[in-house]
Structure 1
Amino acid sequence: MSNAVPNEPQPRIGPNDVLRFFLELFAFVTLGIWGFVAFPLPWPGVLIGLGAPALAILLWALFNSPKAVFKVDPFGQALVEIAVFSAAALAWWMMGQPVVAVVFAIVAAVSGILHGRKQLG
């Protein structure tokens, strides 16, 4: 027996939605790695290694998640997404991995454009 309400439309999850989920996770993990690798341990490396992804997750939860605390228009959501994904790409660049940085930035940008077109169209 299903618990779904018969008249309530089920959200459609497409391939780009799955890709976006993995891009989010990759960005959060990247910021943690960057904090631990790019800064001296134990301090400030531990603080930044835990704080950077926590801040990114907080921003995402407040503005971009499906159950966001603050409802903002698609442009506001795009600004938060650009900030988080750009920080992750810059982190890879700073860690001496320009190929990872560029590939991540391109994939994130294309995925974001597709998502934006879906939201606005």
Structure 2
Amino acid sequence: MTLIDRRPWYAANELLAFLLELAALACLSWWGFSVAHDEATGVLLGVGTPLVAIVLWSLFAAPKARWRPRLSLVLVVKAVVLGGGAAAVYGVGEHVAAMVMAVVVIANTAVAEAFRPALAT
């Protein structure tokens, strides 16, 4: 498969990655509002948890991140945010959806890292 043949797949995988990022934020918010015992805590967790994830992502994992650390730290941040989204879905009782999300996140990240070196050349 040539580099030209890989670009559409890479673009589709990057679109999936973006959708997974949005889904993780929504899942973190859903969890935050679901686990709270009162309205104030619900707002704090439902808004604060995804906000913390956004800050982490924008500082370390976004394509135009303020600081671009080594790949290992970027993957840790991705695992915390995207894995946190899957864990949040698990926490609200949607166990099958959480497992599906986790598998898709792992596959998406693996494909992104497999194609990235080929596109850099």
TM-score, normalised relative to structure 2: 0.85
Q: Which amino acid letter does the alignment assign opposite residue 65 of structure 1?
A: A
Q: How many residues were matched structurally?
A: 110
> What is the aligned partner in structure 1 of residue 112 from structure 2?
115
**Gapped runs of 5+ residues in structure 1?**
1-11
Identical counterparts, % of pairs:
34
In 2, are the aligned partners of 1:74 and 1:116 still within 8 Å (CA)?
A: no
Q: 1:115 Cα deviation (Å)?
A: 1.2
Question: Does structure 1 residue 47 correspond to structure 2 residue 40?
Answer: no
Give 1 or 2: higher helix fraction. Answer: 2
Q: In the alignment, is residue 27 of structure 1 matched against residue 19 of structure 2?
A: no
Query: Does structure 2 conserve the Cα–Cα contact (< 8 Å) formed by 1:36 and 1:48?
Result: yes
Q: Deviations over 1:52-71 (max 9, x none)?
A: 00000111100111110011
- The answer for the alignment partner of 2:58 in structure 1 is 61
Higher relative contact order (CA 8 A, sep 6+): 2
**Which residue among 71, 77, 80 is the counterpart of 2:77?**
80
| Alpha-carbon distance in structure 1 between the residues aligned to 2:42 and 2:96 | 24
Deviation at 1:118, TM superposition (A): 2.4
CA distance in 2: counterparts of 1:38 and 1:82, whole angstroms: 22
- Normalised to the residue count of structure 1, the TM-score between the two structures is 0.85
Which whole-Å CA distance do the structure 2 matches of 1:109 and 1:18 have between them? 15
State the one-letter code of the partner of 1:71.
R
Structure number, greater radius of gyration: 1
Q: Which runs of 5+ in 2 are unaligned?
A: 1-6
> RMSD of the TM alignment (CA)?
1.4
For the residue of structure 2 that corresponds to 1:44, the secondary structure is helix
